[in-house]
Amino acid sequence: MKKIFLIIVLLLQVCLTVMAQEIRTHLVIWAKDGTQVAYALKEQPVLSFMDSALLIRTAQMEINYPLDQMAKFTYETREEMAVRDINTDQTMFVLNEESLLFLNLKPNNHVGLYTISGQAVFSRTISSYGEYAFPLSQLTRGVYLVQVNGLTYKIAL
d(CA 65, CA 50): 10
Q: Decide if pLDDT at 12 tops 60.
A: no
Most confident of 18-27, 41-50, 81-90: 41-50
Give pLDDT, residue 16.
41
Give pLDDT, residue 15.
40
Can you tell me whether residue 140 is helix, strand or coil? coil
pLDDT in tens, 47-62: 888 889 888 887 766 7
Which of 51-55, 60-64, 71-75, 128-132 bottoms out in mean pLDDT, i.e. has the lowest?
A: 60-64
d(CA 126, CA 105): 7
Q: Decide if pLDDT at 67 tops 80.
A: yes
Alpha carbon distance, N-terminus to C-terminus of the chain: 27
Length of the chain: 157
What's the mean pLDDT in 72-88?
74
Give pLDDT, residue 115.
92
* Entry pTM: 0.53
